Structure 1
Amino acid sequence: MKKINFLPIIVLAAMFAVACSGDDDSSSQPATCSDGIQNGDETGVDCGGSCEPCEAGSEVTKSGILEEDETWTADKIYFLEGKVVVGEDVTLTIEPGTIIKGKPGQESLASALVVDQGGKLMAEGTADNPIIFTAESDNIQPGELYGTNLDQNDVGLWGGVIVLGKAPISAPGDNETAQIEGIPASESFGQYGGTDPEDNSGVIKYISIRHGGITIGQDNEINGLTLGGVGRGTTIENVEIVANQDDGIEWFGGTVNVTNALVWAQGDDGFDTDQGWSGTMDNGIVIMSSISGTALEMDGPEGTTGADMTHTLKNITLIGAGTTSGYADLRDGLLVNLENVLAYGFGAEATVKINGADSATELANDNITFLDWQIVLPENVNWENIFAGDFEPGDDTKFYNNAEAIDAADATSGANASVFDWTYAASMGVEF
């Protein structure tokens, strides 16, 4: 919550008289605001002729639940102390070029921006002025696109961005809602899921989320961008996740569509899907590092399975780091269409894996489909070993009939990389 200091009424009246009294023509002169303390700056500031309290200083610390609409502006740096929650019926607007820095803190003290059910985040950056979420230790300043003291190896320095909506999910026991990972059930926020596939959590455009994924418990970190039960009324496009300790983007059910997303140097998976997400990820790039897990990890519904729980990833480029990380791990009876995928740079043991008998069943029932896959094989790798895991004899043709091994120069599948020229990854000279 924003801390506001209240002075006795008599003192306030005296200050008002000092600031605004005088000859009649003095009213046209800028007044000096004596209450410039909202953001911890106790010096007077020019309020442009107004005697209303005004914010001062270039740094603002936020914590707790936002209970009124707010606008964060590009002339300040905003620090997240613990969870900063956009509450129900509240809209947080973030202007293009604004920098938000998460403070460090383990477990329940981990910092994150959380958009609760019924709240809205209007974060509309531009290609020239993206909105940047990063760590407190990042030396980036207003007007800059990146700092100089951190790189893609600096992971887990704060939490991340969590958006929670009211769209359907497939949770254990067919529960309509669930508590998002990373937020204890004892908190008043953190629920996601519902019955409204058109639910609207706001607009996210041209945002870069860097150096997050701090550990909150054993095998439990915050994703760069977590989407829990987010509805298709929400707009998400042109998003970058860099150096997140856990996954880049993870969907927990919901119906939201995402367009133009890049993940670089994540500690675990690039794109991760769960709980019957039924939207589309169109035009995405995953750039692995030596510590990355699998480029695509996809889990099925955790409750009742339905045909309306199918999701689609199309126009995707997966770039390995020369390690044994996997192309895709398809698990728990998921329903997915994987279209126009290019993969290269992976290690000799990387596979497209059908994981578990329930996934084998969905493959046999044509609920896992492949179209226009191209893979540049590492040296001395047998093409017949790329598709692996649990499946019935002959069902491997569902992959091989729609995929080919190619030379790098012959690639025609994958993402349109030109739309990512605005990203931090592009600024650092990463090739994709």
Structure 2
Amino acid sequence: MFNSSLKCALLATAAGLALSACGGSTTSSPGQTGGVIINPPTSGGGSGSGNTEINLVGAAGCDTGTTQETITTGNTDVIACTITGTVTENLTLSADNGYALEGAVFIGEDGGRNATLTIPAGTQIFGKAGEDYLVVSRGSRLNARGSVTEPVIMTSIQDIAGTVDPVNDRGQWGGLIINGSAPINDCIDGTAIGGSATCEKSGEGSSGLFGGANPSDNSGTLQYLQVKYAGNLINDEDELNGIAFQGVGSGTTCDHIQIHNNADDGVEFFGGSVVCDYVVLTGIGDDSLDWTDGWVGGAQYVLVKQGPGAGDRGIEGDNRSSNNSLTPTSDPLISNFTFLGGDSGDSGIVVRAGTEGRIINGVIVGFQDAGVDVDEESTLNNLSSGELSFASLFLDNNDNIESGDDTPAFDTETAIAGSPNVVQGNNSLADEFFPGAAEQAVTATDPMLAGFENAGYIGAFSATETKDSNWAQGWTFGLFESPTECPAGTLSTGDVVGGKQICSLTGTITANVRLNNNFVYQLEGAVFIGEDLGGDTANPIAGRSSAILTIDAGTTVFAATGTDYLVISRGSQIRSNGTRTAPINMTSRDEVFGTADTANDRGKWGGLIINGRAPINDCIDGTATGGAVGCEKSGEGSSGLFGGGASDDNSGNLFYTRVSFAGNLINDEDELNGIAFQGVGSATQVDYVQVHNNVDDGVEFFGGTVNVKHLVLTGIGDDSLDWTDGWAGKVQYVIVDQADGAGDRAIEGDNRSSNNGLTPRSNPIISNVTFVGGDSGDTGIVLRAGTNAALYNGIVTGFQDAGFDIDDAATAVEATAGRIQLNSMMIVGNVANLETDGDAGDAAQATVLAAGSNNVTVGSTTIADETYVPGAPEQAVTATNVNAVDPFFDAVTYIGAVEDANDTWYQGWTLLVDQ
């Protein structure tokens, strides 16, 4: 088959033009037809018109029933086989030809002669204008059987000529309409009974009648089919969809179909019972997947990606707007879908007009209006009764569940949020489409219906699929091509490392940026994501812009100097979506270029700073109240203000993210941590994070309420885990492994050194830690400056000063009052297991240990440097069920960060951890 990228190159050469629709990868389509001859215009030959000629007719000529025609569009003459009128004899097209539709082309006659149109793999059919479309009449069939490498393509003449804008062009021709004899509920004869043979309806665009009494009706086969740039708007009430399934029955085969840039809906099901699997809907101008008139079919594995400035709903599901109670009632099953919103005022799912149905195993992210919206009393009644249900959804949208249409007796938001396995949070999609840690954590629901697979995961793709290997690869348009230009918001440096271009980020970024792993990214100076919106989530500072930085799995971000660092401003977010096999790597230039001393390098760049709007206790305004909106503070390294009144503030997520060789020492009082969580709120998700060889602290929590799981801190130059300013978060599973010749404390926990009694008081809960000291004069755990804390299920060993130390009289008071707790803590193998420096903390330490349960400070341990698997001494310590303390924590029956040799959560994605 002829390659369209070659066609574009030849067209540009022949015409002497730089065709905007050609070039790059966004316009290449598989399945281009063969036999294409491009003749440059000459004075004595070619097309005779001075135009570029594209010949889509093979050596055997046009098929019987079609006519060869030369069609002029712009400066291009297209020679093709034209199909027109009503086809009443079986017609098999040839993959050697390209075909033009002229007007409304009907396959078969409704109530008359039936016909079958067969379209082989690789065939290309196009409409010349908006009035050109293809209709399959009741009783006739369309067999469009493409393949993974050679899909059938239905498109516009502009696409054939190479002049289409693949992002913005829509409605250049009509589309595909299939009429069947399956039941519908909206009868043009008001006396007919819905679902009966006499209940029929006239389709949009004068496409004929549809509907009947045969739910298993067969209208043919659609496999590996693209429909692009269609959806002509005939008038305000009559618009053509990419594919309209009108009363189509379950005997019809429908899988692997893509609709791209349709002006109206992508696919719409008007009644019937057809089921479509593996559906891709991209750049749709209105609703991507629409149903009405009593559709009782379904769809599994559906990807919706909205385009810029276009698109309404991912799903618009109706029974019948004119009469919500018509039967048969729309009742489809939609399973395993991923819906990605755009920048218009759109919604993920809107169900209304009395529809029923099951909507399960979905990922809905990025919609600007709502993720899920249930409209009208009849539909709410169905939700209340269970006839309409949702399960196993991951929602990350501007408003996840619309509640504006609730009836007084029914709370939609509570009903959907409380449905089985519905999770709201920050998405972690890798390479835009594929499930990350957040999505994989959602329990899937078994469809329990014949013809539907129990996939065992939510979303359109499984965790084992990648952009290079997935069910949509090869036959779709514009999804997985590798870009050649740096992403918007970054600039090419002109340099290459490891075969990848280097793109730079600099200054303040006020629009969303997505960093994909086709490039390597350099921070130049202090890079701010968004402008500071202030500490009041309800009243952000006017005139300022927030932004989201998304980093795809496997991406590397580096910096060259200590003054290069990344700051997430209040009101903005970072979405660092690494995976175990492809973590995000934030590191030094030396590591990227292979010149790093991985054992000793520190302070080679700044680090990562996240500013949030959660409560803190150290206010730069001495009249402000700690924990209030007005209590804010300036971060280290001129990183901006943080703090506010929203304990559930959301600064994004860090999944499988590694920060190495950072922590510039600006001065004796101003040092950058590997990751500084400054007033970060509890809606921020942090799971599987490592900081390696930071010159100052590994992670430091300056107030806030953020929680963390699976934290690895190795080779830290100062304190590994540090807190102050009223941090009240939770952490489970922490490995600290100090390097020889570096490191101070595994934990240094403060309330506020300048005023130990400030509120809200630091009060974290930490469980399942393994702290291994080095050869410097270091301490395992130091609690001071009035902090509270609760520590559970820990192993502290190998520290050259002490294992556990309470400092300051104010902290001793808190400890004696029971506001410092230790349970199931094994503090052995240190030079001094408990600090005895003669201050009030000595007695307080004894009090805390005695008040707790299962604490061990004598004996031996098998834990040593880079060996975290517990042996018999550790296994003998009785663990505390921390899940009973707080549901954030996993229920565990062991102490330490690692359960046994089979517990390998810290392996494979970390740096310098024993494998």
TM-score, length of structure 2 as denominator length: 0.38
Instruction: Report the CA distance shift for 1:373/1:163 in structure 2 as closer, same or farther (over 3 A).
Output: same
1:319 corresponds to which letter in structure 2? L
For the residue of structure 2 that corresponds to 1:213, the secondary structure is coil
Q: Paired residue for 2:212, among 194, 198, 212? A: 194
The amino acid across from 1:160 in the alignment is: G
How far 1:56 sits from its partner (Å)?
7.0
Instruction: State yes or no: 1:353 paired with 2:368.
Output: no
Match of 1:423 in 2: 476
In structure 2, the residue matched to 1:209 is 227
1:396 paired with 2:413, answer yes
Mark the CA change 1:369 to 1:208 in structure 2 (over 3 Å): closer, same or farther.
same
Deviations 1:247-269, CA, capped at 9 Å, x for gaps: 00000000110001011111100
Decide whether aligned partners of structure 1 residues 249 and 56 sit closer, same or farther in structure 2, where only a CA change above 3 A counts.
closer
Within 2, Cα distance between the matches of 1:398 and 1:73?
Answer: 53
Partner residue of 1:181 out of 197, 204, 209: 204
Q: Provide closer, same or farther for how the CA distance between residues 387 and 328 of structure 1 changes in structure 2, counting only shifts above 3 A.
A: farther
CA contact (8 A) 2:402 2:413 kept: no
Alignment partner, residue 143 of structure 2 = 122
State the partner residue of 1:322: 343
Task: Name the counterpart of 1:16.
Answer: none
Decide whether the 8 Å contact of 2:218 with 2:249 is kept in 1. yes
In structure 1, the partner of 2:178 is: 163
Which amino acid is 2:220 matched to?
A: G
Q: 1:79 is matched with which residue? A: 100
Report deviation, 1:426. Answer: 2.1
The aligned residue for residue 364 of structure 1 is 384
CA distance change for structure 1 residues 387 and 239 in 2, over 3 Å: closer, same or farther?
A: farther
Structure 1, unmatched stretches of 5+, are 1-44, 141-146, 184-188
The CA RMSD measured in Å over matched residues stands at: 2.6
Separation (CA, whole Å) in 2 of partners of 1:119 and 1:268: 29
Q: 2:159 aligns with which of 134, 138, 153?
A: 138
Do the aligned residues in 1 keep the contact of 2:359 with 2:390 (CA within 8 Å)?
yes
Normalized per residue, the structure richer in helix is 1
Q: Which of 94, 118, 123 is residue 93 of structure 1 equivalent to?
A: 118
Of stretches 390-399 and 86-95 in structure 1, the one that deviates more from structure 2 is 390-399
The one-character-per-residue Cα deviations of 1:110-142 (angstroms, maximum 9, x if unpaired) are 1111000011001000010000000012136xx
Using a 3 Å threshold, how does the CA distance of structure 1 residues 80 and 54 change in structure 2: closer, same or farther? closer
Larger Rg belongs to? 2
Q: Is the 8 A contact 1:152 1:211 kept in 2?
A: no
Does the aligned pair in 2 maintain the 1:123–1:205 contact within 8 Å?
yes
> Structure 2: where are the runs of 5+ without partners?
1-57, 70-78, 429-437, 441-457, 484-515, 517-551, 553-915
> What is the CA distance between 1:53 and its match in structure 2?
12
Aligned: 1:224 with 2:236: no
Identity, % of aligned pairs? Answer: 30
For residues 202-246 of structure 1, the C-alpha deviation after alignment (integer angstroms, 9 at most, x for no partner) is 000000000001111124210000000000000000000000000
Amino acid at match of 1:177: E
- Correspondent of 1:414 among 459, 473, 481: 459
Q: 1:227 to 1:85 in 2, by over 3 A?
A: same
**What is residue 343 of structure 1 aligned with on the other side?**
364
Alignment partner of 1:374 is 2:390: no
| Contact 1:267–1:292 (CA under 8 A) maintained in structure 2 | yes
Deviation, 1:386, is 4.1
| Cα distance, 1:429 vs structure 2 | 5.4
Q: Of residues 331, 344, 348 in structure 1, which corresponds to 2:352?
A: 331
Aligned to 1:19: none
Do the aligned partners of 1:165 and 1:229 also contact (CA within 8 Å) in 2?
yes
Change (3 A) 1:153 1:74: same
**Matching of residue 62 in structure 1 with residue 97 in structure 2:** no
Partner of 1:276: 294
Distance 1:306 1:152, change over 3 A: same
Q: TM-score, normalised by structure 1?
A: 0.79
Partner of 2:270: 252
AA matched with 1:367: E
Instruction: Give the partner amino acid of 2:114.
Output: D
CA 1:129/1:269 → structure 2, altered by over 3 Å: closer, same or farther? same
CA distance in 2 between partners of 1:367 and 1:55 (Å): 52
Partner of 1:37: none
